[in-house]
Structure 1
Amino acid sequence: MPEPQDHPIAYTALQPGTPVQTSGGHQFATVQAVLVDEKVSVFDGIVVLTAEGTRFVDADQIGTIYRTYVRTTLSVEQVADLPQPDGSNLIDVKPPRSMGHRLGRMFGRGKR
């Protein structure tokens, strides 16, 4: 039976700092930001922080998002060729919020 952290989650629940892996399970980055095209409410991809700097992983290159990691469809070789984020990709950066922050807002506490 899989552990609870192994269940897929929605991109809206993805947290900065989450490890990002190749298709073979090799960690190559951590999530820096989630990109969403607000005009059409579509997940655009993620900006990741690698040893070589900030890179963009397109939504089509994301295999599955789990609570504890993101598995891409990329090989180690493909990861080396990821582009830097282009300003045009940054339509709307959705920094995930903590559950405590969301609950606080629901019950009238915290910033609105």
Structure 2
Amino acid sequence: MAEKILKLASENGIMIFSKSTCCLCYAVQILFQELHVKPNIYEIDRDPEGKEIEKALMRMGFSGPIPAVFINGKMVGSTNEVMSLHLSGSLIPLLKPYYQANMS
């Protein structure tokens, strides 16, 4: 399962492993939208293997809770880590390669 996660993360610039009912997941998605990047969202609660994906994320060092955010194939972390990076000014440089000028 870790191979599947790493493949998705490396093929998609910004990858968020999310749950459709999670307000923290939604908050991170809105933050990225406001920063003019379009993350790829993988709703693990809509995948029959979702529980296995979540367990594999934990084995990979993700300390939870979901969302699990990857940028440029590297695990960034969950909401706390993303918000900390943003507040410190370190998130935008990571997102620059994925900036979309014409987001609707």
TM-score normalised by L of structure 1: 0.27
Higher helix share: 2
Higher strand share: 1
TM-score normalised by L of structure 2: 0.28
The structure having more radius of gyration, on CA atoms, is 1
